[in-house]
């Protein structure tokens, strides 16, 4: 699977940033896009270093059920993917806060550089941005750029840097 399908860190590229440029109207928009472009290799490296997880893009209230013991069951796994941890996670604020909590309390913490939940948030935001770009929803995708830049700024204080 990993040899036949590009992962998130392989799909985000300068072409995507170029297309997002059509949605950058203000100087602040253009500056944020430039920060994203300048940090693309570092972003790719961070995403590549995350542990891989199964992602089910069709997961929703109709495909997620609880059994008699209250354990979750997923009724449809037709389009599963393998992606860096955090991918496919909802990107609204409360969900990202929950992702941070999960990172701090469960086994992923030891597998993420310095236990930084921001790396999972970066993955969730980049996955969503790339998905929106694939559907040519560039204005919606661009709305995620300032949030990605904010996460990048937090991660700059982390000691891991791309040395390619």
- Residue 164: pLDDT band (50, 70, 90) is very low
On the question of pLDDT at 161 being above 50, the answer is no
On the question of pLDDT at 15 being above 50, the answer is yes
Count CB neighbours of 152 within 10 A. 19
The pLDDT value recorded for residue 108 is 52
Query: Distance between CA atoms of 84 and 152, rounded to whole angstroms?
Result: 17
CB 112 within 8 A of CB 119: yes
The pLDDT value recorded for residue 162 is 45
The pLDDT tens digits for 29-79 are 999 999 999 999 999 999 998 888 888 877 777 888 889 999 988 887 777
Query: Distance between CA atoms of 143 and 60, rounded to whole angstroms?
Result: 23
- Backbone angles phi and psi of 78, in degrees to 5: -65, -35
The pLDDT tens digits for 92-150 are 988 888 887 777 665 555 555 555 788 999 999 999 999 999 999 999 999 999 999 99
Average pLDDT of the segment spanning 16-26: 92
**Structure-token pair, residue 22:** 């059509």
- Give, in order, the Cα–Cα distances in Å from 8 to each of 24, 81, 123, 126: 23, 10, 8, 8
């Amino acid at each position: 699977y990993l040899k036949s399908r590009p992962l998130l860190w392989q799909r985000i590229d300068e072409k995507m940033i170029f297309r997002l440029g059509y949605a950058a109207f203000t100087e602040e928009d253009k500056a944020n896009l430039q920060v994203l472009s300048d940090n693309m290799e570092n972003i790719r490296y961070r995403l590549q270093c995350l542990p891989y997880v199964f992602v089910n893009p069709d997961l929703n209230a109709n495909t997620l059920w609880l059994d008699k013991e209250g354990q979750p069951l997923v009724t449809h796994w037709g389009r599963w993917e393998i992606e860096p941890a955090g991918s496919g996670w909802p990107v609204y604020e409360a969900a990202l806060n929950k992702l941070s909590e999960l990172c701090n309390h469960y086994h992923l913490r030891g597998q993420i550089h310095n236990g930084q939940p921001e790396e999972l948030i970066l993955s969730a935001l980049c996955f969503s941005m790339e998905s929106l770009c694939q559907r040519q929803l560039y204005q919606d995708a661009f709305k995620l750029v300032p949030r990605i830049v904010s996460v990048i700024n937090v991660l700059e204080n982390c000691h891991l840097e791309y040395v390619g």
